[in-house]
């Protein structure tokens, strides 16, 4: 009973720090240069390729595909951006957000506390608002690594508890169940980066199989679409189309992975080995490869995809928008 309580408290503390750290990181980076982000998104999205590259760059900068997608929905709703440009940003944003998972797969826990402490001290001493936001981002990065460290240190305790370990043994090899759990968890915490980070910990600790880890990662990608769907309520038809373009893009990509599950899993393993990386990088690489391959597959068919979205979400009365 005592061991189970320790495991639960470690899990809650580690997960809370991970989620809060990711939120601080993305929020700090986003608010450090909001005008610049707005200018980049509105000015450098002239065609599909420019939109795609801008989506990668801006999301890698602010570390939040959700924030970039919400901005994109608002730009389309106000008529600043067209649907084709928005779709390009969505392709890129999904790739840009994988940078966080790659950082977490390194897990530099030895610098987590100094990084968090430096960030908070910098925040207290800084006078300029932009500097304070950057300090907040640094503190968030440290807390994110600290959360990963706590979760990782608690993994051996799980294995020593027969009751809890049996749960992972029974359900930790099911990729379909993983998709559902990843979807629900990400929808609740509004952060695919946090849930991917948790997946990395569980896999690296040997508590779930790589198949289940891929399933969780796929569910994360679907769950992150719910925020954009909520944001598109009571907006123009064009904004609703943008939200659905984001949702169906991720959903179709996940369905393709599930259909070609074994080839995708094997390709990820071979890519990781070819890059000379350890198995601890597998989950982060699966996350990155999924989003890169999705963009590569969708890019040539963007015109047809946009027509499909326009058919799926027809023009509503009084909701003209840009499309």
Query: What would the pLDDT profile of 68-109 be if each residue is shown by its tens digit?
Result: 888 888 888 877 788 888 899 999 999 998 888 888 887 667
Assign 281 a pLDDT band (cuts: 50, 70, 90): very high
Query: Into how many domains does the chain fold?
Result: 1
Instruction: Select the more confidently predicted residue: 133 or 35.
Output: 133
Angle, to 10 degrees, between the axis of helix 129-160 and the axis of helix 98-106? 60
Assign 320 a pLDDT band (cuts: 50, 70, 90): very low
Q: Examine residue 137 and state whether it is found in any structural domain, yes or no.
A: yes
Q: Examine residue 317 and state whether it is found in any structural domain, yes or no.
A: no
Using one digit for the tens of pLDDT, what is the confidence trace for 6-54?
Answer: 767 777 888 888 888 877 887 787 777 666 666 766 666 568 888 899 8
Strand partners, 139: none
Would the pLDDT of 318 be above 60?
no
Using one digit for the tens of pLDDT, what is the confidence trace for 175-196?
Answer: 999 899 889 888 887 777 888 8
Exposure b/e, 273-298, CB count within 10 A at least 16 = b: eeeeeeeebbbbbbbbbbbeebbeeb
Neighbours of 271 (CB within 10 A): 16
Least confident of 10-14, 158-162, 233-237: 158-162
Residue-level pLDDT at 179: 93
Residue identified by tokens 């990181």 is: 25
Q: Examine residue 19 and state whether it is found in any structural domain, yes or no.
A: yes
Host domain of residue 58: 2-157+174-312
Would the pLDDT of 150 be above 90?
no
């Amino acid at each position: 009973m005592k061991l189970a309580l320790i495991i639960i408290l470690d899990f809650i503390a580690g997960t809370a720090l991970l989620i809060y750290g990711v939120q601080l990181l993305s929020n700090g980076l986003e608010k450090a240069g909001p005008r610049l982000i707005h200018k980049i998104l509105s000015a450098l999205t002239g065609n599909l390729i420019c939109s795609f590259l801008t989506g990668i760059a801006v999301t890698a900068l602010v570390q939040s595909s959700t924030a970039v997608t919400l901005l994109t929905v608002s730009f389309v709703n106000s008529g600043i951006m067209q649907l084709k440009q928005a779709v390009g940003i969505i392709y890129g944003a999904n790739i840009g957000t994988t940078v966080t998972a790659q950082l977490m797969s390194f897990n530099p826990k030895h610098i987590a506390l100094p990084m968090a402490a430096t960030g908070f001290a910098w925040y207290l001493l800084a006078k300029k608002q932009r500097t304070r936001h950057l300090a907040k981002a640094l503190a968030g990065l440290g807390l994110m690594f600290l959360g990963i460290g706590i979760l990782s240190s608690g993994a051996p305790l799980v294995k020593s508890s027969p009751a809890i370990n049996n749960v992972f043994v029974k359900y930790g090899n099911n990729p379909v169940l993983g998709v559902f759990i990843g979807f629900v968890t990400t929808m609740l915490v509004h952060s695919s980066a946090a849930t991917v980070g948790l997946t990395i910990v569980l896999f690296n600790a040997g508590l779930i199989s790589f198949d289940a880890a891929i399933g969780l990662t796929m569910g994360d990608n679907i769950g992150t679409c719910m925020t954009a769907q909520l944001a598109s309520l009571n907006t123009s038809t064009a904004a609703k189309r943008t939200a659905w373009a984001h949702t169906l893009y991720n959903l179709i990509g996940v369905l393709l992975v599930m259909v070609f599950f074994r080839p995708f899993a094997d390709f990820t393993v071979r890519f990781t080995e070819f890059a000379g990386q350890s198995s601890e990088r597998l989950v982060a690489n699966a996350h990155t490869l999924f989003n890169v391959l999705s963009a590569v597959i969708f890019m040539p068919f963007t015109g047809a995809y946009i027509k499909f979205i326009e058919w799926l979400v027809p023009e509503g009365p009084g909701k003209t928008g840009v499309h």
